[in-house]
Amino acid sequence: MVRKAAVDDVARIAEIHVTGWRFAYRHLISEEFLFKTMNVPQRIAAFTKSIEEQKGDTYVFEENQIVKGFITIGPCRDADKSSSFELWGIYVDPFMVRNGIGSKLLNYCEQKASELGYNDIVLWVLEGNSIGINFYTKKGFAFEGGRKLLDKFGIYEIRYQKRIG
């Protein structure tokens, strides 16, 4: 079941976020950052603040009373795509991938975007993140040309888009 995230969920969300980054980005981002700088307590604080201040909408996928993944969605933050909906982030516990959880979360994102009257969804993915790129491509997203450098990591993000309306 997909439901709105609550402050009680932030410890699990933070755990999924940190392990998800380590799983997906280990070959793209330095181990120094992934294993020393990024940590669960820091992410708990950030997700607590985000949920309390309602910065974007975070939803969790819960099954058997276990949060197994989450998404954060909302209006697109890019000035050139202000009429688009955005998948700000999607993460599934690495121990639970390939069980359809990501697909269910992405379907929920598409449903919410459609309900709100949006005709397309955009997302940013790290260039070289073959796991993410393959997933999004299979779900109908395509690279639309947007590219920006993440100075902090010295790597580019690329923007993908899917028409839904």
Domains along the chain? 2-163 (3.40.630.30)
pTM above the 0.85 mark? yes
Return the axis-axis angle of helices 40-52 and 10-25, rounded to nearest 10°.
120
Percent of the chain residues past pLDDT 70, beyond the cut: 99
Question: How confident is the prediction for the chain on average, in pLDDT?
Answer: 95
Condensed to tens digits (0 to 9), the pLDDT of residues 74-111 reads 999 999 999 999 999 999 999 999 999 999 999 999 99
Higher pLDDT pick, 157 / 51: 157
Q: CA dist 47 to 2, 26, 120, 158, Å? A: 18, 22, 26, 24
Contact 116, 57 (CB under 8 A): no
Mean pLDDT of 32-44: 96
| Backbone dihedral region for residue 2 (phi beyond 0: left; psi -120 to 50: alpha; all else: beta) | beta
Query: What's the confidence (pLDDT) of residue 55?
Result: 74
Residue 53: which pLDDT band, with cuts at 50, 70 and 90?
confident
Report helix, strand or coil for 54: coil
